[in-house]
Amino acid sequence: MIQRVYECAVNCPDLSEVYVATDDERISGCVEEFGGKAVLTAKKHPSGTDRIAEAAQKMNIEKDDLVINVQGDQPMFHPDSISQMIAPLLEDPNIPMSTLQYRITGEKEIQNPFNIKVVSDEKGFALYFSHSPIPCYRDGGPKQRHYKHLGFYAYRMEFLKIFTSLPVGFLESAEKLEQLRAIENGFRIKVVESRFDSPEVDTIEDIRRVEALLAQSDPGNS
């Protein structure tokens, strides 16, 4: 799965370098075996963003550069998703961080706690992320909208350093979602609606589903 995620990232024209940040030498070795590049980090990190920050500092990335975090459970993401996500940061230097959302309509998807839901304000900045369905439509009705948060982030390197200095807050502790640390401390996260879904792998059932999708897209590898 790591190799598939890596190869999807390499196919994004807006990325100049692709590395796997990990605290496990087995994963690092696996990446090197398929020809990829890895950075070993400490094991202590409370979130993937903290791990990415350490890796970026080890690589001496400049403060104005953009750092993209693709979570390792996204083996089928479309490379154009990255281009969509970084566009707001290229247009507005005041935005410190961005991420992606995808509209979901199936009740099973909406209720699935592994699908993180997000709500945003009228300018497209995140208000909240949750494992629970948000917003709650008290009176029901047909005009409901729910968005799934996709596991991608873009940050300015300067903000990554700030992020790691922030304390883990109440909301992050409750939901176990690191992006809430930024919101709790008053930083804005631009949320871009992606044209592409990205099936995540959280359970055994997800593995079977993704394997079936991969077989459909490439019958020769089934």
Cα 182 to Cα 175: distance, rounded to the nearest angstrom: 14
Cα 110 to Cα 117: distance, rounded to the nearest angstrom: 8
Q: Which token pair is 36?
A: 């990829």
pLDDT in tens, 61-84: 998 899 999 988 888 889 999 999
Q: Which token pair is 10?
A: 């390499």
- 10 Å CB burial of residue 166 (0-12, 13-18, 19+) is middle
Residue whose entry in the numeric block shows the structure tokens 């999708």:
213
SS3 36: coil
Q: Which one has a higher pLDDT value, 180 or 206?
A: 180
Percent with pLDDT over 90 in the chain = 77
Which of 23-27, 204-208, 215-219 has the highest average model confidence (pLDDT)?
23-27
* Phi and psi, residue 168, nearest 5°: -70, 120
Q: What is the pLDDT of residue 57?
A: 92
Q: What is the pLDDT of residue 219?
A: 47
Cα 185 to Cα 107: distance, rounded to the nearest angstrom: 32
Give 2-203's CATH code, choosing from 1.10.150.20, 3.90.550.10, 3.40.50.2300, 1.10.1040.10.
Answer: 3.90.550.10
